[in-house]
């Protein structure tokens, strides 16, 4: 009996179910950063910040541009280029193609 269980375990038949699969790290990281650094204004409209409903109408490339050289640049200082793209995909729920060394990011 023990040999059978060991054989099954060796074949990977006791692998974790899909429910425990790793989430897409890019979008998950983008969501976590958004919740920690952006939601306080974009979740309430504080200071005229556009709400999520408005952010979803934008293109992810435009969101990245705002965070790198536009009005949001001071608030996004210190966030890596990869994570800026993750945030943009999270808030727009639209894919972002690979760009140079930066990988493509897909929404959940």
In this structure, what token pair is assigned to residue 20?
């425990």
Residue that has been written with the tokens 């790793």 in this structure: 22
Per-residue confidence in pLDDT tens, the chain, 108 aa: 445 444 444 444 444 444 444 445 678 999 999 999 999 999 999 999 999 999 999 999 999 999 999 999 999 999 999 999 999 999 999 999 999 999 999 998
Domain count, the chain: 1
Has residue 16 been placed in a domain? no
What CATH number did the domain enclosing 77 receive? 1.10.760.10
Has residue 48 been placed in a domain? yes
- In terms of residue numbers, what domain contains 69? 23-92
Has residue 2 been placed in a domain? no
Has residue 68 been placed in a domain? yes
Distance CA 56, CA 51 (A): 9
Distance CA 31, CA 89 (A): 9
Has residue 58 been placed in a domain? yes
Has residue 12 been placed in a domain? no
pLDDT at residue number 24 = 52
Residue 107's φ and ψ, nearest 5 degrees, are -70, 165
Distance CA 2, CA 7 (A): 8
Distance CA 10, CA 92 (A): 43
**pTM of the entire predicted model:** 0.77
């Amino acid at each position: 009996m023990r040999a059978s269980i060991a054989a099954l375990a060796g074949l990977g038949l006791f692998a974790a179910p899909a429910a425990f699969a790793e989430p897409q790290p890019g979008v998950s990281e983008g969501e976590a950063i958004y919740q920690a650094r952006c939601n306080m204004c974009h979740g309430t409209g504080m200071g005229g910040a556009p709400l999520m409903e408005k952010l979803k109408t934008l293109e992810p490339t435009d969101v990245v541009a705002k965070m790198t050289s536009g009005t949001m640049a001071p608030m996004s200082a210190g966030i890596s280029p990869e994570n800026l793209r993750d945030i943009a995909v999270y808030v727009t729920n639209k894919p972002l193609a690979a760009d140079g060394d930066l990988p493509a990011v897909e929404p959940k």
